[in-house]
Structure 1
Amino acid sequence: MLEQHYKWHSPHLGHEFEMLVYGDEGYPLILFPTSMGRHYEHKERGLIQALQWFVDNQLIRIYCPDSVDAQSWYNIHVNPAERALHHVRYDQLLRHEVLEKVTEETGIQRIAVAGCSFGGYHAANFAFRYPERVSYLFSLSGVFDVRSRLNGHYDDNVYFNNPVDFMPENPHEALWRMGIILGVAEQDITRSQNETMSGILQQKGIMHWLDVRPNKTHDWPTWLEMLPYYLSLIK
């Protein structure tokens, strides 16, 4: 399986940024790491190996970017407004640097995004903010509300990057053309957030699947089962 390492200076972040890419053909998938995870996390955890059949058969090309959670939502050493602002910079990197690289290399305008745990937050936040550029969202045990990380602080940067807040009023017509799966374990710490997000989508009439896996927990063995099955549903 072809593996490529990308590293460049990000003008939005002001420092170097890294990403791993698997495969040279196929539908593009941006796969976000878990909280404070790095670009190599999915390889180390076995998720890339679990998806190798899709890559070997040139069905999927996987892009694994770094996170900046340690500087944004998880950074307790700066004030909450700065945490949110740093995420905004990351969002701009994703939109104007990562996504543009993906589009340039594949020629595909609407891509797939996925992530586990806090990576599910990043996937959902990106998909819901830019639905015209995302055709499939696979959130595995995702988080949809980041307010618990902000010590009561709230501003526009929080609102527009907190899916449970901005999605009820989000009118973008492309949301109704997106394939959305919210996968969660029966005994998952994020189950209530997934049920809340599902309720918001249902109220808006947005088709989706809330997949609650019985007798499973918030952990890698569950996600290693989920994501290959979800990718098999791409048409």
Structure 2
Amino acid sequence: MERHYYTQYSEHLQREMHVLVYGYTGVPIIVFPCQDSMCDNFENFGMIDVLQDYIDGGKIQIFSVDTVDKESWSDTWGDKGYRAWVQECYYRYIVDEVLPMVHEINGTGQLPLTLGCSLGATHAAIVFFRRPDLFGGVLGMSGCYDATYFTDGWCDENLYNNSPVHFLENMPSDHPYIQLYNERKIILCVGQGNWESEGIRTTGQMADIFYRKGIHGWTDFWGYDVDHDWPWWKKQIRYFLPFLVD
């Protein structure tokens, strides 16, 4: 398997950030790690091995990014306004700095998909639903799509813009993004086992919003034995990937 490690200085985040690229061509997929993790997260937990046939076969090319979660979502005792600002800078890093890199390396001209598990699914949903003109679809597994969960209900403009259940709820039904969503591939999945309570709650909220706005998103609730954990995410990604790229 082709594997390349890139370091780039982010102007938005004012630090060096890293991207691991797996594969040589195919549908580009930006992968967001789980909470507080870095670009080697999928590799360390065996998810890249699960996708090896797709990668080596030239069907997909993975771009796995770092996070700054420890300064945003995870800094429970930190200043909420600063945490929200850091997350907004991270969003702009993905759109303004990672996305051009993806297009340059991938070279197919295809819109990248976004993908993640747990808080990675939150990131994947944020960038896709904010800019469906730039991304081809999203697969979120066990995500929490209500940013105020991480701030005890507090919200400002930056946090609102990174909270899909809020900005989608207030999006007019005739907004041009609605049509773009329906031209893309949207899959949000969650189990109903251990540690999935917020995923269940907020995926249900997203399902309700999709219905009321006429968004053709697929929300899939797996069984009560399906936990918030890697063995299930591996099963889910193999199940859903053909709907995204085949």
TM-score past 0.5 threshold: yes
Contact 1:45 1:220 in 2 (8 A): yes
Residue segments in structure 2 that go unaligned for 5+ positions in a row: none
Report SS of the residue matched to 2:143.
coil
| 1:152 Cα offset (Å) | 4.1
Task: Give the TM-score normalised by structure 1.
Answer: 0.96
Cα distance in structure 1, aligned partners of 2:71 and 2:100: 23
**What's the C-alpha RMSD, in Å, of the aligned pairs?**
1.3
Letter in 1 for 2:139: F
Once the 2 structures are TM-superposed, how far is the Cα of residue 28 of structure 1 from its aligned partner? 0.1
- In the other structure, the counterpart of 1:191 is 200
Residues 28 and 61, structure 2, Cα contact 8 Å, conserved in 1 = yes
Could you say which residue in structure 2 is the equivalent of 1:229?
239
C-alpha spacing 1:2/1:150, structure 2 compared with 1 (3 Å): same
Q: Equivalent residue of 1:75, what SS? A: coil
Q: Which runs of 4+ in 1 moved over 6 A?
A: none
Identity of aligned residues (%): 32
Which string of whole-angstrom CA distances, capped at 9 and with x for unpartnered residues, describes residues 10-36 of structure 1?
Answer: 111101101111001111000100111
Q: What is the identity, as a one-letter code, of the residue corresponding to 1:45?
A: F
Residue identity in the other structure for 2:147: V
Question: 2:156 & 2:83 partners in 1: Cα distance?
Answer: 11
Q: Output the amino acid matched with 2:228.
A: H
How big is the shift at 1:143?
0.9
Q: Deviations over 1:115-162 (max 9, x none)?
A: 000100000011000101111210001110121222443211011110
Q: Tell me which residue corresponds to 2:214.
A: 205
Partner of 2:228: 218
Unaligned ranges ≥5, structure 1: none
User: Is structure 2 residue 27 aligned with structure 1 residue 18?
Assistant: no
The aligned runs of 1:119-138 (5 Å cut-off) are 119-138=120-139
Residue 192 of structure 1 aligns with an amino acid whose one-letter code is R
Q: Which amino acid aligns with 1:114?
A: L
| TM-score between both structures, scaled by the size of structure 2 | 0.92
Q: Is this contact kept in 2: 1:26–1:61, CA < 8 A?
A: yes
Corresponding residue for 2:87? 87
Counterparts in 2 of 1:192 and 1:151: CA distance versus 1, 3 Å: closer
Which residue identity is paired with 2:130?
Answer: R
CA contact (8 A) 1:13 1:93 kept: yes
- CA 1:136–1:68: 2 relative to 1, 3 Å: same
Amino acid at match of 2:226: K
The structure carrying a bigger strand percent of its residues is 1
| 2:56 equivalent to 1:47 | no
Letter of the aligned partner of 1:2 in structure 2?
A: E
Aligned pairs for 1:101-180 (under 5 A) are: 101-107=101-107, 108-170=109-171, 171=175, 172=177, 173-180=179-186
Counterpart secondary structure, 1:128: helix
Q: 1:80·1:151 contact (CA, 8 Å) conserved in 2?
A: no
